[in-house]
């Protein structure tokens, strides 16, 4: 099924999507999307949505299954509090990608903006995965509590891979970076580590479908320095609050 | 003469007492005695310094208000009658230590801070940058910025010298004499570690503290104690002390008994002589004379460091502060009437001066009316008790605050107000070598440093809630304050709207 | 009517288009762009500024004045006839528009400074105009100067921007630079003066976000004689610009550094000592001009526009270029609405300006 959505309000677009879903349709295509918000928000089944145009804010928010593929760019808030399913963006995405994402997968072919993966967390057996083909800006993985963020920087070798304040307050999950990161760029709660054989094996397995989706050469992608950031502690703020449970006492 | 004074306190020794005698050794006021298998208390001597209470291994001691009472009289309060009796028996001026303890309105406690909800987000202070860096010193009205030969922009204005504070809190002036060398060492080291400054007060800078010069503000007061070229050269900044919030308009007097060899050497006076700070500077009888001293100090130090002026909060504080700014002061320290003292006449301490909150608001306003607020820094001092007070002071218009009493409390001071007796049981305001030993320098540094750390974290926490990530956006931002329970005139003076508006 | 003395918070959308060759663009285009982001506003404020709209009057100050009621007009005009040499006075044409409620009265005046007016030594014509504007805003009941630059003008009011655009018949104007705004005020007095853009002389600003630092920004500019009378934080940006650019003659490049300076740790890491000294001094001297809190703004001036976000990018801004056109908007969709396939489209870095200007050879 196809819909030319150029002049439609987001409510009309989403109502049409819900009807398709109820009718048991598995593939739909939206044309002429121009900033309509909330597309696929709360999506809860196996519907596969192809979007042509610029997807509006909160694409796939609270998504709980199914798949969204954008042929174009996405704006802010992609996969906000997403629980399951997959979002693929053949373009770039704006700020706050994967905010509080708890499960599912997001692929972004190009760059993402500020605060990608902020407060991502893992719950149950479906930990979230975000792979960014281009670069990410400041506050990537800020207070990350679980899941995996991968930033590849495949497009412009001169562009900084990530900004500053990466993984500040990180207390779970892992961030893989294809390249290096200077100490001032990441938070004191995160630790920089080289990759283990297990990590390489994981990346190989995880990046294969990503590369296939966008036509990247997996071997070339992997033939590069990688590093990873992991939390130094699950409780980074032990000495901050006096008298709290688990707080360090200073009384002798 | 028969002593008519009733005791203030009653020292209660409980049945847990094991007669170890620790309390007797700890009491520096001669209250406790071990005799005939029990501890005897001379209640009348007790100042309630809590030393025995804290150090009793069995927690057997309690200091109680003396239960003996007289007929209630809301006008002739016990304090009034007591003061009167003391004077009838001695014919002398009553002295007091620490700050004004009278129940004047504490305006801080009638100011409420704002927080962000939705329209401007609050910021996570632990994970996102939160900048407290503060510069104290004179700023030009504006900058000249020109392209250099490569077209890169270049600063063409030369900025006057600045003090850089990593947190907007400095340790205020307490002279060597009022406190002892260990206190100075503790504050100097804590200041160095926290990236801030300590003010050595008007009694000179001890030789051992010269290495801390880059974290030291030296004072030049009316007594000029210890003021010489090396002293000026050693410091990061110089403060001319005109007045003190606890005793505006009067000088000081360090008793000869306190002028030990060490203090004498630092103050550059013979040991055992009284160290008198005259009420005025006898080279400053008017504002142009202040300018003369400011520039004398700037000349002496080749304009390499800020020269500020400390004034007590008095009725015309705004005009005085503006005058001092125009006379060339790079920073102004405004000392409110809750500020502490080692010794001041009770009548002055309790009845002269203004609340810091009022003075600060008035000074900031006046400097703005004159269009020069952005050129001069303001340090607010006198009775800052908590990070909340710090934040409110900055929002009212201060660049930074200075703390003294708060730092002493961190080191054990219980505000017993007996500083002037020289018997401080906590080893702070005494020169008695035995009592000084009670103050452990390393632990003291840790306590004061912890205090600064905790307040700094709390300031960041509140700034985050306010949605502000640089302290300069809080400074003078009274829009983020509301008053509760203040009268209309006080609100007007403070420039703060009532809660709900 | 101006509501009681409290200032107002707002969310919003912004958009700007510039033809760098100075070609005039019809007002329809900017309406189309801003209408795309209807969701970001709530119908309680929309506005536009056009540069190049009065070419035949380009040597005269153009005052757009809003009167709450017709009877507030006469006292102001009596004053203006004394204060300025007026060349033309006319009602700003409007049309009844669904979605736009009871509107104030809008007039525009073109004029210059009377040659024999007694003035303080060294006062420029612009200084004089600032005094006129401040005086009207402060002292004349029910009258507000909406814009006061040359060859430019602000059109704003309560409503969705597309409706406000139709109300002011923007299709009858052409400009080489248009900037638009849709407003989402949190408290909702129907206050036409609170809509964006805000403007003084040649500067104009639209703003998405809220200034947590407003209290001190306001007190800072007040030291220099500006008066914040329009009850929103955005107004203060305009006075900051006027102070820094016109009065203190700071280079353009310094403005974004004052409004959204680098963090201290970035400054400490800056290799060039000359640059480090410059950045440090700017933070030391202009701290009260720091715009703290979430913002993305578009600053308009006769030679182009500047887009800027706050230091930690709490509000969105997208930039694009296509041929001789430059675009800015809160959302990519707004740009694509009027330029489906731009040559370049990008998200500017936090606190890093997008500075697009007319080509140097363009003579206005």
pLDDT of residue C8: 47
- C204 with C147: CB under 8 angstroms? yes
Chains touching A (3+ CB pairs < 8 Å): B, C
The distance from CA B285 to its chain's CA centroid, rounded to whole angstroms, is 26
Q: Tell me which residue in B152, B372, B478 faces C215 most closely, judged by beta carbons.
A: B478
- Whether the per-residue pLDDT at B63 is higher than 90: the answer is yes
Distance CA B139, CA B142 (A): 8
Q: What is the pLDDT of residues C140-193, one digit of tens each?
A: 999 999 999 999 999 999 999 999 999 999 999 999 999 999 988 765 466 898
Answer whether C336 sits within 8 Å of A34, measured CB to CB: yes
One-letter-per-residue 3-state SS of chain C: CCCCCCCECEEEEEEEEEECCCCCEECHHHHHHHHCCHHHCCCCCEEEEEECCCHHHCCCEEEEEEECCHHHHHHHHHHHHHHCEEEEEEECCCCCCCCCCCCCEEEEEEEECCCCCCCCCCCCHHHHHHHHHHHHHHHCCCEEEEECCECEEEEEECCCHHHHHHHCCHHHCEECEEEEEEEEECCCCCCHHHCCCEEECCEEEEEEECCCCHHHHHHHHHCCCCCCCCCECCHHHHHHHHHHHHHCCCCCCHHHHHHCCCCHHHHHHCCCHHHHHHHHHHHHHCHHHCCCCCEEEEEEECCEEEEEECCCCCCCCEEEEECCEEEEECCHHHHHHHCCCCCEEECCCCCCCEEEECCCCCCC
Expressed in angstroms, the distance from the first to the final Cα of chain B is 61
- C59 with C73: CB under 8 angstroms? no
Q: What is the pLDDT of residues B30-54, one digit of tens each?
A: 999 999 999 999 999 999 999 999 9
Instruction: Summarize the confidence of residues B201-213 as an average pLDDT.
Output: 97
Token pair for residue C171? Answer: 């299709």
Q: What is the pLDDT of residues C290-344, one digit of tens each?
A: 999 999 999 999 999 999 999 999 999 999 999 999 999 999 999 999 999 999 9
Task: Give the CATH number of domain B135-472.
Answer: 3.20.20.70
Instruction: Summarize the confidence of residues C15-20 as an average pLDDT.
Output: 96
The answer as to whether A236 is a domain residue is no
Strand partners of residue B40: B33
Angle C10-C12-C18 from CA coordinates, rounded to 5°: 135
Which of A163, A238, A240 to probe by mutation at the B interface, max B CB count within 10 Å?
Answer: A240
The answer as to whether A168 is a domain residue is yes
Q: Average pLDDT over chain B, rounded to whole? A: 96
- Residue percentage of chain B with pLDDT more than 70: 100
The distance from CA B45 to its chain's CA centroid, rounded to whole angstroms, is 28
List CB contacts (< 8 A) between C318 and chain A: 94
Token pair for residue B218? Answer: 């030296």
SS3 for B238? Answer: strand
Angle B159-B162-B168 from CA coordinates, rounded to 5°: 135
pLDDT of residue C41: 81
- Whether the per-residue pLDDT at A244 is higher than 80: the answer is no
- Whether the per-residue pLDDT at C43 is higher than 90: the answer is no
The answer as to whether A240 is a domain residue is no
Q: Average pLDDT over chain C, rounded to whole? A: 92
Answer whether C337 sits within 8 Å of A53, measured CB to CB: no
Instruction: Summarize the confidence of residues C56-64 as an average pLDDT.
Output: 97
SS3 for B334? Answer: strand
Helix (H) or strand (E) holding A12, with range, is helix A10-22
Q: Which residues of B touch A (CB under 8 A)?
A: 124, 126-129, 450, 454, 457
Instruction: Summarize the confidence of residues A154-159 as an average pLDDT.
Output: 94
Q: Tell me which residue in A165, A237, A242 faces B128 most closely, judged by beta carbons.
A: A165
- Residue percentage of chain A with pLDDT more than 90: 85
What does the domain layout of chain B look like in residue ranges?
9-92, 135-472
Residue C200 burial (10 A CB sphere; 0-12, 13-18, 19+) = buried
Q: Residue C209: which of C311, C65, C89, C91 has the closest Cα?
A: C311
- B394 with B168: CB under 8 angstroms? yes
Answer whether C282 sits within 8 Å of B143, measured CB to CB: yes
Token pair for residue B333? Answer: 């320290």
Answer whether A169 sits within 8 Å of B129, measured CB to CB: no
Q: What is the pLDDT of residues A32-67, one digit of tens each?
A: 999 999 999 988 888 999 999 999 999 999 999 999
Task: Give the range of the structural domain holding residue A188, as residue numbers without chain letter.
Answer: 2-231
pLDDT of residue C187: 54
pLDDT of residue C58: 96
Instruction: Summarize the confidence of residues B194-209 as an average pLDDT.
Output: 97
Q: Which chain A residue shows the shortest CA-CA distance from B454?
A: A240
Report, as residue numbers or ranges, the catalytic residues of C.
12
Strand partners of residue B146: B154
List CB contacts (< 8 A) between C218 and chain B: 479
Q: What is the DSSP string of B447-493?
A: HHHHHHHHHHHHHHHHHHHHT--BGGGTTT-GGGEEESS--HHHHHH
**Entry pTM:** 0.93
Task: Please tell me what DSSP assigns to residue A196.
Answer: P
Tell whether omega for the bond before C197 is within 30 degrees of 0, i.e. cis.
yes
Distance from CA of B127 to the nearest CA of A (A): 5
Q: Average pLDDT over chain A, rounded to whole? A: 93
Q: Is C87 left (phi over 0), alpha (psi -120 to 50) or beta?
A: alpha
Q: Residue A231: which of A154, A166, A150 has the closest Cα?
A: A166
Answer whether B126 sits within 8 Å of A242, measured CB to CB: no
Q: Which chain A residue shows the shortest CA-CA distance from B127?
A: A168
The domains of chain C, with CATH numbers, are 10-357 (3.60.20.10)
Q: What is the pLDDT of residues B423-439, one digit of tens each?
A: 999 999 999 999 999 99
- C24 with C176: CB under 8 angstroms? yes
SS3 for A193? Answer: strand
* Total domains present in chain A: 1
Distance CA C206, CA C183 (A): 10
- C185 with C210: CB under 8 angstroms? no
Q: Residue A108: which of A85, A79, A80, A81 has the closest Cα?
A: A79
Place of tokens 């002398």: B92
Which phi and psi angles does B247 have, rounded to 5°?
-150, 65
- B176 with B198: CB under 8 angstroms? no
- B467 with B116: CB under 8 angstroms? yes
Answer whether B126 sits within 8 Å of A169, measured CB to CB: yes
Which phi and psi angles does B25 have, rounded to 5°?
-70, -35
Q: Which chain A residue shows the shortest CA-CA distance from B129?
A: A165
Give the CA distances from residue C283 to residues B169, C120, C240, C259, C290, in Å, rounded to whole numbers and listed in that order. Answer: 19, 32, 15, 10, 8
Q: Residue C18: which of C227, C339, C305 has the closest Cα?
A: C305
Answer whether A184 sits within 8 Å of C316, measured CB to CB: no
CATH code (residue A17): 2.160.20.60
Residue C214 burial (10 A CB sphere; 0-12, 13-18, 19+) = buried
Q: Which chain C residue shows the shortest CA-CA distance from A184?
A: C265
The answer as to whether A251 is a domain residue is no
Q: Residue C170: which of C14, C26, C304 has the closest Cα?
A: C26
Distance CA C135, CA C117 (A): 16
The answer as to whether A174 is a domain residue is yes
Residue C236 banded pLDDT, cuts 50, 70, 90: very high
Strand partners of residue A151: A132, A177
pLDDT of residue C38: 82
Residue A124 banded pLDDT, cuts 50, 70, 90: confident
Q: Which chain B residue shows the shortest CA-CA distance from A169?
A: B127
pLDDT of residue A246: 53
pLDDT of residue A245: 61
Which of C213, C224, C241, C288 to probe by mutation at the B interface, max B CB count within 10 Å?
Answer: C213
Distance from CA of A239 to the nearest CA of B (A): 10
Give the CA distances from residue A125 to residues A128, A149, B317, C315, in Å, rounded to whole numbers and listed in that order. Answer: 10, 17, 68, 34
Residue C2 banded pLDDT, cuts 50, 70, 90: low
List CB contacts (< 8 A) between B119 and chain C: 9-11, 186, 210
- B400 with B143: CB under 8 angstroms? no
- Whether the per-residue pLDDT at C5 is higher than 50: the answer is no
Q: Tell me which residue in A34, A113, A184 faces C333 most closely, judged by beta carbons.
A: A34
Answer whether B127 sits within 8 Å of A242, measured CB to CB: no
- A72 with A56: CB under 8 angstroms? no
- C176 with C18: CB under 8 angstroms? yes
- B479 with B397: CB under 8 angstroms? no
Q: What is the pLDDT of residues A200-242, one digit of tens each?
A: 999 999 999 999 999 999 999 999 999 999 999 888 777 778 7
Distance CA B85, CA B77 (A): 12
Distance from CA of A5 to the nearest CA of C (A): 13
Longest dimension (CA), chain A: 72
User: What CATH architecture does domain B9-92 belong to?
Assistant: 2-Layer Sandwich (3.30)
pLDDT of residue A249: 47
Q: Residue B28: which of B443, B419, B440 has the closest Cα?
A: B419
Q: What is the DSSP string of A135-173?
A: ---TTTTTT-EEEEEEE---S-TTS-SS-SSBTTT--EE
Angle C297-C302-C308 from CA coordinates, rounded to 5°: 20
Residue A200 touches partner B, C-beta closer than 8 Å: no
Under 8 Å CB pairs connecting chains A and C tally to 55
Q: What is the pLDDT of residues B445-501, one digit of tens each?
A: 999 999 999 999 999 999 999 999 999 999 999 999 999 999 999 999 999 999 999
Residue B238 burial (10 A CB sphere; 0-12, 13-18, 19+) = buried
């Amino acid at each position: 099924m196809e819909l030319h959505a150029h002049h439609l309000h987001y409510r009309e677009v989403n109502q049409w999507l819900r009807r398709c879903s109820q009718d048991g349709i598995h593939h739909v295509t939206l044309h002429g999307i121009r900033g309509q918000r909330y597309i696929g928000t709360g999506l809860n089944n196996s519907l596969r949505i192809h979007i042509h145009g610029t997807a509006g804010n909160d694409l796939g928010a609270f998504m709980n299954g199914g798949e969204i593929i954008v042929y174009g760019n996405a704006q802010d808030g992609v996969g906000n509090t997403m629980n399951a399913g997959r979002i693929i963006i053949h373009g770039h995405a704006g700020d706050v990608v994967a905010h509080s994402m708890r499960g599912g997968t997001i692929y972004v072919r190009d760059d993402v903006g500020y605060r990608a993966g902020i407060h991502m967390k893992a719950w149950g057996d479906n930990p979230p995965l975000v792979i960014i083909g281009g670069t990410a800006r400041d506050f990537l993985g800020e207070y990350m509590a679980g899941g995996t963020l991968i930033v590849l920087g495949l497009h412009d070798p001169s562009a900084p891979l990530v900004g500053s304040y990466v993984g500040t307050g990180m207390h779970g999950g892992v961030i893989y970076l294809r390249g290096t990161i200077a100490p001032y760029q990441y938070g004191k709660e995160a630790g920089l580590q080289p990759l283990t054989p297990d990590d390489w094996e994981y990346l190989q397995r995880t990046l294969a479908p990503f590369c296939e989706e966008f036509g990247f050469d997996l071997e070339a992608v992997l033939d590069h320095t990688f590093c990873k950031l992991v939390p130094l502690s699950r409780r980074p703020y032990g000495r901050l609050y006096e008298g709290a449970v688990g707080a360090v006492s200073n009384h002798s | 003469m028969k002593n008519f004074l009733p005791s203030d306190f009653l020292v209660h020794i409980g049945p847990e007492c094991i007669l170890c005698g620790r309390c007797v050794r700890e009491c520096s006021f001669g209250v406790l005695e071990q005799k005939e298998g029990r501890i005897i208390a001379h209640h009348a001597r007790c100042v309630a310094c809590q030393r025995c209470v804290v150090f009793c291994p069995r927690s057997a001691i309690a200091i109680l208000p003396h239960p003996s009472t007289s007929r209630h009289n809301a006008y002739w309060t016990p304090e009034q009658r007591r003061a009167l009796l003391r004077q009838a028996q001695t014919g002398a001026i009553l002295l007091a230590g620490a700050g004004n303890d009278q129940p004047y309105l504490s305006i801080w406690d009638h100011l409420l801070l704002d927080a962000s909800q939705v329209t401007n987000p609050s910021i996570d202070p632990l994970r996102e940058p939160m900048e407290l860096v503060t510069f104290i010193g004179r700023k030009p009205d504006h900058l000249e910025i020109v392209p250099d030969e490569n077209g890169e922009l270049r600063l063409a204005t030369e900025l006057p010298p600045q003090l850089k504070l990593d947190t907007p809190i400095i340790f205020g002036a307490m002279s060597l004499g009022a406190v002892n060398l260990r206190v100075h060492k503790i504050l100097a080291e804590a200041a160095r570690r926290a990236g801030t400054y300590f003010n050595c007060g008007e009694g000179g800078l001890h030789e051992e503290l010269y290495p801390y010069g880059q974290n030291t503000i030296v004072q030049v007061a009316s007594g000029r104690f210890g003021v010489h070229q090396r002293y000026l050269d050693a410091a990061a900044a110089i403060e001319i002390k005109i007045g003190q919030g606890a005793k505006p308009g009067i000088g000081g007097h360090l008793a000869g008994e306190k002028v030990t060899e060490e203090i004498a050497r630092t103050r550059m006076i013979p040991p055992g002589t009284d160290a008198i700070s005259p009420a005025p500077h006898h080279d400053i009888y008017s504002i142009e004379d202040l300018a003369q001293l400011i520039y004398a100090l700037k000349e002496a130090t080749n304009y390499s460091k800020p020269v500020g002026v400390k004034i007590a909060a008095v009725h015309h504080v705004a005009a005085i502060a503006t005058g001092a700014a125009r006379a060339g002061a790079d920073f102004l320290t405004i000392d409110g009437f809750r500020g502490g003292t080692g010794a001041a006449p009770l009548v002055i301490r309790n009845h002269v001066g203004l609340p810091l909150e009022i003075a600060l608001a008035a000074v900031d306003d006046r400097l703005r009316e004159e269009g020069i607020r952005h050129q001069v820094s303001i340090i607010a001092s006198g009775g800052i008790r908590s990070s909340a007070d710090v934040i409110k002071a900055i929002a009212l218009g201060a660049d930074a605050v200075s703390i003294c009493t708060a730092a002493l409390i961190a080191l054990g001071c219980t505000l017993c107000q007996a500083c002037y007796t020289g018997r401080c049981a906590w080893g702070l305001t005494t020169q008695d070598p035995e009592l000084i030993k009670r103050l452990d320098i390393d632990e003291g540094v840790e306590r004061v440093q912890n205090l600064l750390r905790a307040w700094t974290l709390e300031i960041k926490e509140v700034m985050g809630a306010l949605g502000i990530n640089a302290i300069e956006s809080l400074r003078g931002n009274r829009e983020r304050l509301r008053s509760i329970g203040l009268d209309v005139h006080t609100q007007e003076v403070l420039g703060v709207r009532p809660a709900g508006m | 009517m101006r509501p009681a003395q409290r200032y107002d918070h707002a969310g919003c959308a912004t958009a700007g288009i510039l033809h760098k060759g100075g070609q005039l663009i019809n007002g329809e285009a900017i309406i189309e762009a801003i209408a795309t982001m209807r969701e970001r506003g709530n119908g309680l404020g929309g506005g536009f500024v056009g540069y190049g709209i009065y070419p035949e009057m380009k040597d005269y100050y153009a005052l757009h004045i809003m009167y709450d009621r017709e009877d507030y007009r006469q006292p102001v005009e009596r004053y203006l006839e004394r204060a300025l040499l007026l060349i033309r006075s006319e009602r700003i044409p409007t049309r009844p528009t669904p979605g736009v409620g009871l509107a104030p009265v809008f007039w525009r005046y073109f004029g210059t400074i009377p040659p024999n007016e007694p003035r303080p030594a060294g006062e420029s014509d612009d200084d004089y105009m600032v005094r006129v504007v401040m005086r009207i805003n402060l002292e004349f009941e029910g009258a507000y100067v909406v814009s006061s630059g040359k060859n430019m003008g602000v059109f704003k009011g309560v409503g969705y921007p597309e409706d406000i655009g139709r109300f002011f018949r923007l299709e009858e104007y052409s400009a080489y630079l248009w900037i638009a705004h849709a407003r989402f005020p949190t408290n909702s007095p129907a206050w036409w003066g609170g809509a964006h853009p805000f403007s003084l002389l040649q500067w104009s600003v639209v703003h998405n976000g809220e200034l947590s630092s407003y209290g001190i920004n306001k007190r800072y500019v007040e030291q220099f004689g500006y008066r914040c009378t329009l009850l929103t934080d955005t107004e203060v940006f305009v006075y900051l610009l006027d102070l820094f650019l016109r009065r203190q003659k700071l280079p353009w490049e310094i403005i974004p550094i004052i409004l959204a300076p680098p963090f201290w740790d970035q400054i400490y890491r800056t290799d060039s000592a000359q640059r480090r000294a410059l950045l440090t001094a700017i933070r030391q001297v202009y701290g009260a001009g720091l715009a703290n809190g979430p913002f993305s703004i578009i600053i308009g001036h006769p030679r182009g526009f500047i887009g800027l976000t706050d230091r930690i990018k709490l509000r969105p801004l997208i930039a694009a270029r296509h041929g001789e056109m430059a675009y800015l908007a809160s959302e990519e969709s707004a740009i694509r609405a009027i330029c489906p396939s731009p040559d370049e489209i990008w998200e500017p870095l936090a606190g890093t300006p997008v500075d697009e200007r007319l080509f140097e050879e363009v003579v206005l």
